[in-house]
Chains A and B, each alone.
Chain A
Amino acid sequence: MDVDVDGLTLTLGGRPVLDGVSLHAQPGEIYGLLGPNGAGKSTTLSVITGLRRAASGQVSVVGHDPAREALALHREIGVLPERSGFYDWMDAPAYLAWFAQLYGRRLTGPEITAELAQVGLDGRNRRAIGTYSQGMRQRLGLARALLHRPRLLILDEPTNGLDPRGRREVHNLLLERSRQDGVGILLCTHLLDDVERLCTRIGILHQGRTVFEGALSELATASNEGESYRLHLRTEPPAVPLPPGVELLAWQGEWARIKLDGTRPPEDVWRGLLAARWPIAEIHQEAGGLETLYLRMTQKEEGPA
């Protein structure tokens, strides 16, 4: 497993920041780490990358314990931190060349140009980094993270400050690295579009705890409170009362929209409807979108105000 985290806890300034974080990312997988501001995402990443030590819990990243084998780990991971600074007086090629040397790589001019080109930066540009826009800095940070061909990329808000085209380019780059080179990616973001486009599995943190971990489709099931469905009917439905927990929202022609209140598994409801002679031909779940599901999941954990 690329990232294997169980029961992580950490207290900062007397306040529990992490209170049972668990993440499990497979090699080559793009794993999305989601959560509202202050949920503990960046702190979790700092523990995973060996910058902080957890009070308790198990952490293994590409087979290394970050607390004990930080140097070996840093050779195998590429990280784009949330707040990533640069030496503003340097230009991008000089910066990358210097950083590559820290990893024992001596980059030639064409190699530097290629490294910069893959993130959409011009290697011939000798402007000081201090004059770069936020988007250009983000791209440079990504180039730095990719520099040493890491097995695992840990990216904290990688598309921050990028325009839609830039975001799409970064998405494509990450997908390419994942599919072609088998690079695992742990993506920490609050942009659900990034998650939907890139991630195979996600973990949701809320108030320092993992409240969900699994595939996106599992999230829909896990937050199944009042899911709505579209039923394709062969004929008109019979005039009998609906089973408990089912509400008919609309009915038009061959299509009926129903809502389940989540008290019964959907399979039970379908069996009940079929037993009541509902002529169901197809069932389509109306996904509320990741955003709806995510909000529901984090609100559920928050409880009543």
Chain B
Amino acid sequence: MNPILLIARKESRELLGSGRGLAWLLALSAVLSVLGLLFVSNTELSLLDNAQVVTMELGTITALGALLAVVLGSDAIAGERERATLIPLLLSPARRTDIVLGKMGNQLVGWLVMYLIGLPYLWAVGSSGQNLAQACAYLALFGTPLVLGFGFLAQGLSSRAAAVRSALVPSLLALILLGGPVMLGPSFRQSAIGSWLDRVNPFAAAINSFDSVVIDSQSLSAQLARLAIVLIWLAATAAFARSSATSMNV
């Protein structure tokens, strides 16, 4: 079997079979459960329009997916280095690029699992609305490159970092910096800086697309510019992670 697939498969087994991976998935499921419960039981949230609830759920799944990707990415190489498992891997016939690509494959599996975990919650809060199918499709279309981008960024930093923490902190910072403006009020987002940030920020591009499609029922053609931003983000972070193969020192 190809070393990339071997490494990706091993990593995925660790995510789904080890106590650490399962604990993360359980924690993310718990957050989605609490949020879903709030949507139906909280007086103020239960008054929200169904489409708005679905959009919030999409944003939450995406943010949690990005968080999981950052954790997986930060641990990908630096974690192996800390646990002294990187050297045997580097001494195997697998190329450094194979290792990087295999780890990137695990990011994809991690997001896929997160996506599958999120689907029942989406159905629970949005089954009575109109745009559930579009919501699921757009979560895949925009959420995948956005989330993977965060994972690749963290993985690139992980290759260069001596410890997981050294990769995790800047990756989380990037997640907060890009995700934070989305949480800011409409007045800031309508200002010159806010508007510019919204245009170049991949996180904002994905969230705004969810908004436009689920709430305003806009078509895909209206989202192409935003899709381009998210894809550029993915390409840039993938190139960064790929180039980090040479920095994978012992």
Residues of chain A whose beta carbon lies under 8 Å from any beta carbon of chain B = 46, 49, 51-52, 71, 74-75, 77, 79, 81, 83-89, 98-99, 101-104, 141, 144
Contacts and interface: CB of A to CB of B under 8 A. Distances in A.
Contacts of A102: 3, 6, 92-94
A35 B92 CA distance: 27
14 contacts: A51-B250, A74-B91, A79-B91, A81-B87, A83-B84, A83-B87, A85-B83, A85-B84, A85-B87, A89-B20, A98-B6, A98-B10, A101-B6, A102-B6
B87 A86 contact: no
Interface in B136-151: none
A89 B18 contact: yes
Interface residues of B, number: 24
Leading 6 A-B pairs by shortest Cβ distance = A85-B84, A85-B85, A89-B18, A83-B84, A102-B92, A85-B83
Contacts of B94: 102
Contacts of B91: 49, 51, 74, 77, 79, 81
A89 B17 contact: yes
Interface string B164-189: 00000000000000000000000000
A181 B209 CA distance: 65
A70 to B, nearest CB: 9
A103 B92 contact: yes
Contacts of A75: 93
Most buried by B among A52, A89, A99, A102: A102
Contacts of A85: 80, 83-88
B34 interface: no
Given A51-B250, A83-B87, A84-B84, A89 B93 contact: no
B88 A71 contact: no
A71 B95 contact: yes
B193 to A, nearest CB: 42
B19 A89 contact: yes
Contacts of A87: 10, 14, 85
A77 B93 CA distance: 10
Nearest to A71: B93
B124 interface: no
A103 B93 contact: yes
Given A46-B250, A51-B91, 11 more contacts: A71-B93, A74-B92, A77-B91, A79-B88, A85-B83, A85-B84, A85-B88, A87-B85, A103-B93, A141-B88, A144-B88
A75 B92 CA distance: 7
B88 A81 contact: yes
Most buried by B among A83, A85, A88: A85
B173 to A, nearest CB: 27
A84 B87 contact: yes
Contacts of A74: 91-93
A51 to B, nearest CB: 5
B192 interface: no
A83 B1 CA distance: 28
A99 B14 contact: no
Contacts of B1: 101
Nearest to B17: A89
Contacts of B17: 89
Contacts of B23: none
Interface in B1-29: 1, 3, 6, 10, 14, 17-20
